A and B are shown apart, each in its own frame.
Chain A
Amino acid sequence: MRGDCMIHIENMTKIYRMGKVEVRALDGVDIDIDEGEFVAITGPSGSGKSTFMHLLGCLDTPTSGTYILNGSEVSKLKQDKLADIRNREIGFVFQEFNLLPRLTALENVELPLIYRGMPVHERRERAKVALEKVGLADRTNHRPTEMSGGQQQRVAIARALVGDPNIILADEPTGNLDSHSAHEVMDMLKDLNSAGRTVILITHDMSIASEAKRIVRILDGRILSDEVVA
């Protein structure tokens, strides 16, 4: 186990209490992920992969264990500190796209930069560049409802990219897309990885997972296997 990785997780456990019943969603997970890796985390529903994704994405804190992200311990941080880390270190891509329906594509992409407190001209410029990168330069003023699923997911990717985070965390990014759009999105993630970004893909679909360079299988809150594919 090395301590100089981008992500270093040791004995991470998450327990949910539902009334009197304790559910061990995650049970002593150890993992290291290096910068520039393309990791797929797979497992059937209920395996704990969603919980793992929340913890990786700093959306939640573990019940016990260590999580060192870029050299700093984040497992004990308060909500606002975690918000800051999510804003700077992680770009999220969700299955349901999760764009704000009342905002235009450009405004959606700008959002992470707004919370970073970036001045309006700079963030608008960066949001435009990000939309160009995903091939939606002509859709800047459209609202999500005026776009196809594939386009919406590309806006979401632009939003994940705009803050220039180290990690892209994609949770079933192709789950709501037709095969053509799914292919496009996967290509985009691969391109991002080739450009040096760490991509973590959470999916139950083995054919999608097989596109990654490393596959981690989770079952009952434990890592079942961890293999490098390519």
Chain B
Amino acid sequence: MNLYQLIKLALRGIIDNKLRSFLTMLGIIIGVASVIALVSFASGATSQVTSQLEGMGSNILNVNIMGRGTQTTLTYEEALELKNPYISGIAPTVNSGMTVKFMNKTYDTSVIGTNTDYFIINNRELEAGKAITEIDLENRARVAVIGPDAAKELGMLNPVGETIKIGGNNFTVVGLLKSKGSSMMGSQDDMVIVPITTAQRLFQTGGVRSITAQAASPDDVEAAKAYLEADLKRLFKDDEDAYSVFDQTELLNTVKQSTSVLSMMLGGIAGISLLVGGIGIMNIMLVTVTERTREIGIRKAIGAKKRDILTQFLIESSVLSGVGGIIGVIVGFVLTKILSTVANIPTQTTLLTVGVSFGFALLVGIAFGVYPANRAANLNPIDALHYE
């Protein structure tokens, strides 16, 4: 008996028994749909987190100074001396929350004092104007680069060239940052950047507690970190609790790893429901075999071999799970769409997810169809013919 004929027959059987077929397929539908929705959600979250981390800049090392005894900070010069051959840029930063005033509007924001490398390391591009220069640093110039959110809050339409007041001092806005959105570290657009030398006066503190360094290449990250740690250890007289060096690649890998575990777990849970759906198929196929014992007898009497009956029932169970799988894929897509628009959760549906879940559904249908089909194929034609 050819395949096409058998599939047609199985489809007709599904249509003849709409409610029963639907209920049988429901397990598979829910299974496939939830695999797709959950994995799409997990991989959407993963790619959002990783793109945020990567957006922070690559090959980044963060140094935090906790201090030891009376020496709680580094000077700007000490911080710059931490530069080693594996580091392409180093940006000591000081920051403080301050009130910024423009015309008659005031706004509390984060004021960051740093150097020229900061812009390169953190991938900060400018929407308008220019960044802070070496000359600004030398002259302790009262210039500022403003973030788009801060500019907006202050009602500045064309910030470049305007004068703002920070802590009572006049600053000329020389640049406007390009928007970068918010990350796990908070908004990256709500800030004002000034030369670190100017900031030290403004904050009335000379100490640097935070340094961002960039390794020259991904291969240099480890060496750069080792040198940094060695230098810091010497500076703080072997007190390793006085500082910490943090590698962003490490963080990225940790996050990637934990989100992939998350997506596997979610997929696994949904996979179990697929398995349960398969048991539903087996159950109904066993009922079908019993109900159609007479049909099997007739088919055998007129020449059907074991293999013919086996194929017929296997195809029926795989058509059942296949149709369920297709409906499940559609439901999964709709569910994902709803999840991402209504709940505003980022999702990412890949062909692999769809393929694997559909394939698994089909496999479940075949696997759980084997036993009932085998039972049908082994029926004795006489017993089957006389079955009432």
Binding site for B on A (CB under 8 A): 54, 57, 59-60, 79-80, 83-84, 86-88, 92, 94, 98-100, 102, 111-112, 114-116, 120, 159, 163
Contacts and interface: CB of A to CB of B under 8 A. Distances in A.
Nearest to A94: B385
Nearest to A83: B305
Interface string B272-295: 000000000000000000000011
A60 B382 contact: yes
Most buried by A among B5, B298, B306, B382: B298
Given A60-B380, A98-B298, A115-B308, 20 more contacts: A59-B382, A80-B305, A80-B307, A83-B303, A83-B305, A83-B306, A84-B305, A86-B302, A86-B303, A92-B301, A98-B294, A100-B295, A100-B298, A102-B9, A112-B303, A115-B299, A115-B302, A116-B303, A120-B2, A159-B302
B148 interface: no
B304 A83 contact: yes
Interface in B295-329: 295, 297-308
Nearest to B378: A79
Nearest to B5: A114
Consensus secondary structure, chain A interface: helix
A98 B1 contact: no
A104 B13 CA distance: 14
A78 to B, nearest CB: 10
Nearest to B299: A111
Given A102-B13, A115-B1, A115-B308, A59 B303 contact: no
Contacts of A87: 302-303
A138 B232 CA distance: 99
Contacts of A86: 301-303
A99 B385 CA distance: 11
A203 B305 CA distance: 28
A88 B303 CA distance: 8
Interface in B1-33: 1-2, 5, 9, 12-13, 16
B365 interface: no
Nearest to B381: A59
A20 to B, nearest CB: 21
Chain B interface extent, by class:
20 to 34
Contacts of B304: 83, 115
Most buried by B among A60, A80, A83: A83
14 contacts: A59-B301, A59-B382, A79-B305, A80-B306, A83-B306, A86-B303, A92-B302, A98-B298, A98-B301, A100-B299, A102-B16, A111-B302, A115-B1, A115-B302
Nearest to B388: A96
Contacts of B382: 54, 59-60
A50 to B, nearest CB: 9
Nearest to A87: B303
Nearest to B302: A112
B375 to A, nearest CB: 15
A98 B295 CA distance: 8
Contacts of B16: 102
Contacts of B301: 57, 59, 86, 92, 98
Contacts of B2: 114, 120
Contacts of B306: 79-80, 83
Contact of B305 (A99, A112, A115, A120): A115
Contacts of A100: 295, 298-299
A80 B308 CA distance: 10
Given A92-B302, A100-B295, A115-B302, A59 B1 contact: no
Interface string B370-388: 0000000000111001000
Nearest to B6: A114
Contacts of B299: 100, 111, 115
Contacts of B300: 83
B288 to A, nearest CB: 12
Contacts of A112: 302-303
A100 to B, nearest CB: 6
Nearest to B16: A102
A114 B304 CA distance: 9
Nearest to B13: A102
A80 B300 CA distance: 9
Interface in B207-253: none
Contacts of A94: 385
B295 A84 contact: no
Contacts of B307: 80
A56 to B, nearest CB: 13
Contacts of A84: 303, 305
A79 B300 CA distance: 10
Contacts of A115: 1, 299, 302-305, 308
A57 B299 CA distance: 14
A116 B1 CA distance: 8
A113 to B, nearest CB: 9
A84 B2 CA distance: 17
B385 A98 contact: yes
Interface in B338-388: 380-382, 385
